Amino acid sequence: MACNHSTLGPKSIRFLRRAPPLTRTFFAPPANILFIVGSSLVMDHRQGDRSKSKCRENVPSKLSNLFGSRSSGEKPSQGVETLSTVIKRLTIASKYERKAAEERRRGMNDLARWAENSGNAAIEDVLSRTKEVTEIYTDRKLFSADKYCSSVDHIKYIVDFDRQIEEKHRECFHLKNQERSLKVKIEKMESGGGFFRNIVGGGKKGGDLFMLRRDLVEIQNQYVECSEEYRKLRSEREVCKMFKLRELLKGMHDADQDFAVESQVIFECLREICEQVPAVSTQDVNRMNYQAKPITKELVDQLKANLSASNAPPTRSHRRRSEPSRRPNPGTPPPPYTPTAPPEVPSQITVSDSYLLRATVVFANDAESSTPSRPPRIHSSPVRSGRMYPPLPPNPYQRTNVVVS
């Protein structure tokens, strides 16, 4: 049998020349052919391993499809973490609102304390009433913050429910893995040799196989029950999520809306109280007396009554508030501050739709008979009169009428 030496290398030719005739007839194939065959076998082996790994990787995806895939691509625990972050941030916001209300109360208390020693009856009265209204505002703000924070607790129920579902999901996945491992053992015991039977079954194929099949049936029953519970929990979670989310939003919006209505009433009252501070331009302050103290007191009392009445659940109603009444002459000081104000017709106190007092108070026409609205203090300091400003020197720019005879 002849061979073609043109396809062989120099080393192969030397080997054939030295070898006996039998060896020359039956020689091994060239090295390049062996390399090609070996590489093809290695590639086939690697492709087989890759196909097996792909099959193994496809098992969790099929299980996820069985339990319901998540379109968002997030992990199951990320939803719980997101809701926990929401609870934390909303709680911090409510905490800061409480702190802001407390700081506002302290600041107004300090301002009222300063007004007591200012020597100005109007400023002292207005700031003392403003302090009372600020106390009411702070209490309402704290109550609204507590109500807002209590509504945030509904998110905790959703978080707890999601955690139960995730635990049930992990339990189903664990049971599925046990079922798959038991099936593999049973198949090997049924089709394997004696060596495997001696290792796995301990030499008792029938008894061990029966035990494995019994365990497999128990695991399958547990898996069916667990999967049914998981599906029920998922359906209940959607109902619970919608209900709790509805209660959450209603609680948050009701707290904000109630506080907004109460705040508007409070701020309108504060605006009316601030209007009692005179805007003096050309009047002589030495002859002016502050007599608006009854008005500020009535405003605060009416505000307390309106807020207490608005808290009653049966008679609660939100009506559209009307515009506050405007004074006819905004450029001139109001009647309580001018000693020469014309007499007014007495009228009854009425309350408009804005829950604020719109009243006209009758004062005496005679400035000499009017008494200071601020009672004198009993202490060692000199007693101040009811004047709005402390005694001032005469006005040098005041014109005097000179009569020429």
Please provide the DSSP assignment of 281-338 as one string.
SSS-GGG-B---HHHHHHHHHHHHHHHHHHT-STT----PPPPPP--S-TTS--GGG-
Q: Which of 75, 49, 81 is nearest to 60 (CA)?
A: 75
- For position 380, what pLDDT does the model report? 43
Tens of pLDDT, residues 13-37: 555 555 555 444 444 555 444 444 4
At residue 277 the predicted structure's pLDDT band, cuts being 50, 70 and 90, is: confident
Q: How many CA atoms lie within 13 A of 165 on its CB side?
A: 22
pTM over 0.95? The answer is: no
At residue 195 the predicted structure's pLDDT band, cuts being 50, 70 and 90, is: low
Rounded CA separation 248/338 (Å):
55
Residue 324 pLDDT > 80, yes or no? no
Helix (H, G, I), strand (E, B) or coil at 351: strand
- For position 401, what pLDDT does the model report? 55
Tens of pLDDT, residues 213-231: 888 888 888 889 888 888 8
At residue 163 the predicted structure's pLDDT band, cuts being 50, 70 and 90, is: confident
Domain boundaries, the chain: 78-192+205-278+289-310
Give the domain 78-192+205-278+289-310 fold. Substrate Binding Domain Of Dnak; Chain:A; Domain 2 (1.20.1270)
Rounded CA separation 370/354 (Å):
32
Least confidently predicted of 100-104, 139-143, 215-219: 215-219
Q: What residues pair up with 289 in beta bridges, in sequence order?
A: 387
Which of 218-222, 277-281, 317-321, 342-346 has the largest mean confidence?
A: 218-222
Tens of pLDDT, residues 296-312: 999 999 998 888 876 65
Rounded CA separation 354/375 (Å):
32
Residue 157 pLDDT > 60, yes or no? yes
What mean pLDDT comes out for the span 58-80?
49
What spatial distance separates the first Cα and last Cα of the chain, rounded to whole Å?
167
- CA-based radius of gyration for the chain: 47
Residue 112 in contact with residue 130, Cβ under 8 Å? yes
Instruction: Transcribe 23-73 into DSSP letters.
Output: HHHS-PPPHHHHHHHHHHHHHHHHHHHHHHHHHHHHHHHHHHHHH---TT-
Residue 386 in contact with residue 372, Cβ under 8 Å? yes
Least confidently predicted of 18-32, 135-149, 241-255, 381-395: 18-32
